[in-house]
A = this chain, B = another copy of it.
Amino acid sequence: MTLLVIEIKVPSHELVASQGLAPSLAALWPSYLAFVTSFLTVLVIWAHHHLIFGLIAKDDHPFLYWNGLLLLCVTFVPFPTALLAEYLLHADARVAANLYTGTFLAISLAFAALWRHASTKLLSDDASDARRSEARQITRQYRFGAPLYLGAFGVSFVSEAWSVAACLLLAVFFALWRSPATK
């Protein structure tokens, strides 16, 4: 959870002197958008991560590596977030949006790999039917993760703002849509 601490820069005294504080704060909207989107995404990742850890009966070496890869990507998130906040209104916004959505695409791929390994190798042999059914529903749901984030990555080449909005919607979507078994 501590990885969620994402800094928003206080506007400089020069900017505030020329424009006033309220307009300077309003001009920071890319920061707020990036902050909320990254916050919700990381929150959903932790929630699903927690769900996976509750389902598996053991861990093994490959699980630790996939988990380490996922953690590496999540730890990287503050950098593209700060980059997007700084450059979303800049001529070079495309590159920032590419990296931002690309990071989330990488996370969705690492998550898919982690779950694929966990669901095929680490469920206990005598798992209850409820657990197996829950695992199947998670598999069905996660199937959409990487393609959807690939879509957001594609959109980032066309419209930066829409690609970030897509990531925000995806985070809300995966927060709300959980398999019936976990309700």
Measured CB to CB, the residues of A under 8 A from B are 1-8, 10, 13, 16, 20-22, 25, 35-36, 39-40, 43, 47, 60-61, 64-65, 68, 71-72, 75-76, 78-79, 82-83, 86-87, 90, 92, 95-96, 99, 175, 178, 183
Expressed in whole angstroms, the minimum distance between the Cβ of A62 and any Cβ of chain B is 11
How many copies of this chain are found per oligomer? Answer: 4
Q: Is the CB of A90 within 8 A of B7?
A: no
Q: Is the CB of A43 within 8 A of B71?
A: yes
With A72-B39, A92-B22 as given contacts, are A178 and B47 in contact (CB-CB < 8 Å)? no
Q: Which of A13, A22, A71, A75 has the most chain B CB atoms closer than 10 A to its own CB?
A: A75
